Amino acid sequence: MAVMNQDKSLQLEIKDLSMSFGGIKAIRNVSIGVQSGEIYSIIGPNGAGKTTIFNCISGIYKAQQGSIRFENRELLGVKPDRIAQMGVARAFQNIALFKGMTVLDNLMSARVHLMKYGLLGAALYLGACQREEVQNRDAVEDVIEFLDLQSVRKSPVSSLSYGLQKRVELARALAMKPKILLVDEPVSGMNLEEREDMARYIIDINEEMDITVVLIEHDMGLVMDLSDRVTVLNFGTKIAEGTPGEVSSNPEVVKAYLGDEH
């Protein structure tokens, strides 16, 4: 994991973010700063607003108040495809893959925003188009090797186990060539062995590829093992932030997860 440095600039900065759906306030004045190179987790009970924050970062939702800046560029109001081009990729909790396509084709489809050739060049498959196709395929094959997916690279996603599909979902996000990776519930529904594998892949992505990782996760063991820093939400409000040790001993966090039993 990254060694924290207080002088490092914030790669992702969320300030006073608020989002409502009708009369329901999903998030209220939430501020988060993620430094380049760290693994940062956002945790909280169901309905705390975690996924809403991811939806705002990736451009699916536009918050009514606040600011989201990625590498000093404002993201609010920017379309999702442009945000992806800027280097923000997301692996979804509910697997967002083309189930009838192969693993390889799913990953190639994730590179579309990086391809520069026009419609005519693509139709004729000439010159620069052909070279770019080769370059993108090489990049995808590197991701397949990195996440140990070689044996299923030509298999339809629908034929894979749930754990493998979650890994392909991570690979699809990684194929987008991100600078920061948003990972929503990466180990939900997995067995112990699959969880351990996913944890190792996340660490490798962070350390070997130098990609900042922001996690939403309910598995507290995973969060405490992987994270440099953690933010805790409850009912749309930020109630704690700090190292895993600081957060796990915070009375408000204990109350949010376990209830006030004392």
pLDDT in tens, 210-242: 999 999 988 888 999 999 999 999 999 999 999
What pLDDT score was predicted for residue 239? 94
In a domain, 154, yes or no: yes
Rounded Cα gap, residues 189 and 42, in angstroms: 19
* Residue where a domain stops, chosen among 177, 212, 237: 177
User: 26 with 236: CB under 8 angstroms?
Assistant: yes
Q: Are residues 184 and 261 in the same domain?
A: yes
Q: Tokens 């190639």 sit at which residue?
A: 108
* Residue where a domain stops, chosen among 132, 152, 177: 177
What pLDDT score was predicted for residue 7? 43
| CA 261 remoteness from chain centre | 34
Q: Are residues 80 and 189 in the same domain?
A: yes
Rounded Cα gap, residues 45 and 43, in angstroms: 7
pLDDT beneath 70, residues of the chain: 1-8, 113-129, 258-262
* Residue where a domain stops, chosen among 151, 177, 203: 177
The model's pTM is 0.86
What pLDDT score was predicted for residue 123? 52
Nearest CA to 166 out of 136, 199, 204 is that of 199
What pLDDT score was predicted for residue 4? 45
Q: Are residues 69 and 104 in the same domain?
A: no
Range of the domain at 117: 98-177
**For the chain, how many structural domains are there in total?**
2
Q: Are residues 203 and 192 in the same domain?
A: yes
Q: Are residues 165 and 205 in the same domain?
A: no
Rounded Cα gap, residues 70 and 32, in angstroms: 12
Q: Are residues 76 and 192 in the same domain?
A: yes
